[in-house]
Each structure stands twice: as C-alpha cells, then as structure tokens.
Amino acid sequence: MKIDLKQVEEACKELYIRACKILPPDIKQGFARLDASETDATGKSILATMIKNITVAEDTDNLLCQDTGIPIYNVTIGSGVEVDGYHLKQAIAKGCERATREHPLRSSVVHPVTRKNEHTSCGRAVPVIHIDFVDQPETLSIEMIPKGSGSENNSWLKMAIPADGIDAVKTFVIDCVLEAGGKTCPPTIVGVGVGGTADLCVHLSKVAATRPLGSQCDDPEGARIEQELSAVVNQLGVGAQGLGGDSTSFAVHVETAATHITMNPVAVNMQCHSARRARATFTPQGLTYGF
C-alpha cells in the first residue's frame, strides 16, 4: 500500500483540530464514573463544571482548552506500507502548521532561549514525531496528542535504588501526585515508566499517561502496580482541580522496560483532565478517523 503524503498532510491538520475540540469517549466515561463516586460537595461541583465545559465546547464547535499544547504525533507503520520516511515527517509538520495558521489555533511553541514564537506550533524538533512498526498488514496509523504545559510541567525522574524494590517506585509516584496538587488540572491520568534508561523511562511514562482509559499494561507486573496505585491516589484528597475530594485521578497507568542490574529508573508524567487525542488510520479501504 502506497501512502499519499498530501493526504497525510491534510489528515494531520484535521487531527490537531479534532483533538483540541472533541474529547475521547473513554475520558467522558471516566468523568461519569468519578462523578458517580464523588462524596465531597465541592469536588462534585467542580466535576459538574468540567463536564459542562466539555458539552459547551463540543456543542459550539469550540476548543476544550485554550492551551493547544506541544503537538505530538505517534505514527505506527504496518507491513506492506510504502512511504518515504523523511517526507512523511515533512507532511506531518506541514499539517500541524496549517492547522495552527488556517483554523486558527493558538501557537504555544517558542524557541527555548529567545522565546520567539513562529505562530506555527512548530519549531526545532517540534512537532514531536514518534515512529514505530507493527505487525499489522497495510495499515498506517497516526495519533495526535496536544500535550498541555499544565500537565507536562509535572514530570519527574528518579533513579531509584534496586535494593529499595517496588515500594520505592510506589512511594515516588504518590509523592509526585501530592507535589503536583492542583497544578495538573486534576482529575489526571498518572503515567508511570519503570525501567529502561533514563530517557526511555521518561518516554514510557508519557506513553502510559496518554493511553486510553480502560487499557492495561501488557506486563502483568506493571498491570498489578496500576491496579494498586489507581486505588491509592484517590485516597490522597487532592481532588478535582486540587480543591479536595475523591477525584484526584482517572487512573494510574504503567509501562515497563527491562533495565540494568544496578538501576531502577522510575518516571512520572501526568495528563490533565482534558486528555485530548485523535487518530487517523490509512488502509486500502481508505482513511478513517477515531481516537
């Protein structure tokens, strides 16, 4: 299957706009679940306001949040797909730029030293593009995630001591949730990376933070940690927007990787309550959009 790069460009433009305007169904279901179990009156009121914001944004074709974030595109390429990798990345960046200029979206991307804003949501190494390969014939999938600074600023890495075991990992995660407080606009998805190298661990934590609610780590040990920590974080009392209650987090997600015998890296990356993402899938049957 040969990929039409002009179609990729158009899809990547559309994905950015869709992600900023339409909240995935699993996140809406997460809100409903937390609203049903919230026991704090203030927490209940804050959740109601968030839920209303989602409805108003979608009914008026408006943005869910003014922060259009750092644009991230996750690309997976299946077997039998013909595509020029360099020009694929160029098409993605062009689509990202067009969404910002033509929609228009607020550009939140600046040079790290001069702070100059090109008003394209693009810059050095941005949009962030990850490319992976899967055993899925004739399929190319592009997921777009606008990662807001409120959540991205709450990121941590600890090179834990292996002898301290899994308790050190759990304690670190809980400490991070408490330190973040209301700064991440909870309820959050708490992404945890365990293992690998320092950079891989941080990447895994973001993969975990941006996974759909209801998904589970495919490592049984990671899945067990997810279950334990998901129950614990909502007992911390941070609550929606940090104002107290039971709704600190939709879930804790964990991703793991093998690591060195003398290392045990653990990283935390959070996703805010507006956990936006959109997906385009190219197959021989055509292009489809989803989450």
Q: Which amino acid type is present at position 72?
A: I
Phi first, then psi: what are they for 217, rounded to 5°?
-60, 135
Same structural domain, 154 and 265: yes
Same structural domain, 212 and 242: yes
Same structural domain, 134 and 243: no
- Per the CB < 8 A criterion, the answer to whether 144 and 15 are in contact is yes
- Per the CB < 8 A criterion, the answer to whether 250 and 34 are in contact is yes
Mean pLDDT of 37-53: 97
Same structural domain, 224 and 166: yes
Mean pLDDT of 246-268: 98
Specify the number of domains making up the chain.
2
Cis status of the peptide bond prior to 187, with omega within 30 of 0: yes
Model confidence pLDDT, tens digit, residues 55-107? 999 999 999 999 999 999 999 999 999 999 999 999 999 999 999 999 999 99
Range of the domain at 285: 5-20+64-148+276-290
Model confidence pLDDT, tens digit, residues 126-165? 999 999 999 999 999 999 999 999 899 999 999 999 999 9
Model confidence pLDDT, tens digit, residues 126-136? 999 999 999 99
pLDDT at 250: 98
pLDDT at 69: 95
pLDDT at 95: 98
Q: What rounded mean pLDDT belongs to the chain?
A: 97
Same structural domain, 170 and 70: no
Model confidence pLDDT, tens digit, residues 88-98? 999 999 999 99
Same structural domain, 171 and 120: no
258 torsion bin: left (phi>0), alpha (psi -120 to 50), beta (else): beta
d(CA 184, CA 69): 13
pTM, rounded to two decimals: 0.95
**Angle, helices 220-233/165-180, rounded to nearest 10 degrees:** 40
- Counting Cα atoms < 13 Å in the Cβ hemisphere of 203 gives 11
37, part of any domain: no
pLDDT at 196: 98
Model confidence pLDDT, tens digit, residues 113-123? 999 999 999 99
Same structural domain, 143 and 280: yes
Model confidence pLDDT, tens digit, residues 169-223? 999 999 999 999 999 999 999 999 999 999 999 999 999 999 999 999 999 999 9
Q: Among candidates 121, 141, 120, 118, which has minimal Cα distance to 131? A: 141
pLDDT at 78: 97
Same structural domain, 15 and 99: yes
Same structural domain, 115 and 229: no
pLDDT at 184: 95
The residues with which 73 forms a beta bridge, in sequence order, are 129, 144
Provide the token pair at 208.
Answer: 């975990």
Mean pLDDT of 8-31: 98
Domain CATH code at residue 110: 3.30.1330
d(CA 70, CA 24): 18
